[in-house]
Amino acid sequence: MTLPILYSFRRCPYAMRARLAIFASEQQVELREVVLRDKPEHMIEISPKATVPVLYLLDGSVIEESFEIMEWALNLADPNQIDPERFRVKARVLVERCDVEFKPYLDRYKYPNKFDDMTREAAIAKAADFINDLDKMLENQQFLMGHSRGFSDIGIAPFIRQFAHVDRDWFLKQPWKNVIDWYLEFTNWDGFLRIMSKYPKWTPDSKITVFPEITQISVTAF
Ligand SMILES: N[C@@H](CCC(=O)N[C@@H](CS)C(=O)NCC(=O)O)C(=O)O
């Protein structure tokens, strides 16, 4: 093993933020694409909670939270300055709010049959509280912490995208103009398109997939 191994799932927003941070920090990993209903034995062995993403480092240590994988990558290098010291605390508080105050309602909106603790309308209203806060933050700036893409943008946008895609026509008609513009910019951004490359399901016989591919590094504006 010469590279850290990232167990990832293309469509998972947590895995997206981990891949985005690895991409932004210009690190490389071996990517192993997971199918959630058939997780690799090695992944479960190193991380029994068995959620993606999981990062297996060369020294045998394991990082099994997306937020911590972002920090691992950006602590190693931040050539695109997406995690400047002055926004570090504020950006982390916002990403944590996304996970705690938004994601549960996103799940209840997206999968209403899986939950019976609130109506879909109530879940939308709760999710809208967070979206409205983002909308205010984006009033006079293109990104959440200012005029360039940062930790909180890559940490949160995959979740807003998931929310938007439940019913995209409805989402685009909501009074969140700034968030809509921000979401559209993110989904059209070259960096996002690159971390969404498709890979076949990994098996122990698969060839090594290096992520990101070398040609993808240093060519994307942040
Ligand atoms: N707190 C974890 C959450 C990760 C998570 O829940 N990932 C989902 C996929 S989006 C998962 O692996 N679920 C397990 C499953 O569906 O079996 C993180 O931030 O990495």
Q: Are 135 and 68 found together in one domain?
A: no
Q: Are 93 and 124 found together in one domain?
A: yes
Q: Are 184 and 128 found together in one domain?
A: yes
14 part of a folded domain: yes
Ligand 1: atom nearest CA of 37 is 17
pLDDT in tens, the chain (222 residues): 699 999 999 999 999 999 999 999 999 999 999 999 999 999 999 999 999 999 999 999 999 999 999 999 999 999 999 999 999 999 999 999 999 999 999 999 999 999 999 999 999 999 999 999 999 999 999 999 999 999 999 999 999 999 999 999 999 999 999 999 999 999 999 999 999 999 999 999 999 999 998 765 556 678
Q: Are 91 and 183 found together in one domain?
A: yes
| Domain CATH number, residue 159 | 1.20.1050.10
Instruction: Please tell me the predicted confidence (pLDDT) of residue 222.
Output: 81
Q: What is the largest CA-CA distance in the chain?
A: 51
Instruction: Please tell me the predicted confidence (pLDDT) of residue 47.
Output: 98
Residue 4, judged by CB atoms within 10 A of its CB (0-12, 13-18, 19+), counts as buried
- Report the separation in Å between the CA atom of 65 and the middle of ligand 1, taken as the mean of its atom positions: 9
Q: Are 91 and 145 found together in one domain?
A: yes
Domain containing 133: what range? 85-188
- Report the separation in Å between the CA atom of 127 and the middle of ligand 1, taken as the mean of its atom positions: 19
Pocket test for ligand 1, best of 7, 11, 12, 14 (most atoms within 8 A of CB): 14
Ligand 1: atom nearest CA of 69 is 20
148 part of a folded domain: yes
Smallest CA-to-CA distance from 27 within 215, 212, 175, 219 is with 212
d(CA 175, CA 132): 9
How far is CA 8 from each of CA 46, 130, 146, rounded to the nearest angstrom?
14, 27, 30
Pocket test for ligand 1, best of 12, 47, 52 (most atoms within 8 A of CB): 52
What does DSSP say about strands 5-8 and 29-33: parallel, antiparallel, or unpaired?
A: parallel
d(CA 17, CA 176): 22
Closest residue to atom 11 of ligand 1, CA basis: 51
Instruction: Please tell me the predicted confidence (pLDDT) of residue 90.
Output: 98
Q: Are 20 and 100 found together in one domain?
A: no
What does DSSP say about strands 62-63 and 54-56: parallel, antiparallel, or unpaired?
A: antiparallel
